[in-house]
Amino acid sequence: MQNITPMLARKDHRTPDEPRSVLPGGVIGFICYWCALAIPFLFYGSSTLFFFLYTWPFFLALFPVSVLTGMVLNTWLRGQLLWTVLICVAAVACQFWLLFLFLSRW
């Protein structure tokens, strides 16, 4: 006779605090990136396009940083989407604004 331990079919080994996926955080970071990209257009209008003509690689480099920021915040905040959205919007907007100020003063 075999020594068998019965297991429940739907037993999950995760703790209840642990988020199931970081995908919502990545999506939040992606949306925050596009919203933060619009901030210079709101302040300076269409003349921002000439500024982006030469500096687009710097702003494109913030894309993976924004997505990773959303994913990390989602993990740290254990999947609480409201706090993840609020903090990610603030963090990504600050990253964009600091880069924009650095490049415009350089």
Q: pLDDT, tens digit, for every residue of 39-87?
A: 888 888 988 888 889 899 999 999 999 999 999 999 999 889 999 999 9
Count other C-beta atoms under 10 Å from residue 72's C-beta.
Answer: 16
CA 26, distance to chain mean position in Å, is: 5
Closest CA to 39 of 69, 75, 68, 66: 66
pLDDT value at residue 12: 57
Contact 88, 32 (CB under 8 A): yes
Q: Taking the model in full, what pTM does it have?
A: 0.77
For helices 81-105 and 48-76, what crossing angle results, to 10°?
Answer: 150
User: Please, what is the Cα angle at 74 between 61 and 60, to 5 degrees?
Assistant: 10
Q: Of 17 and 49, which is predicted with more confidence?
A: 49
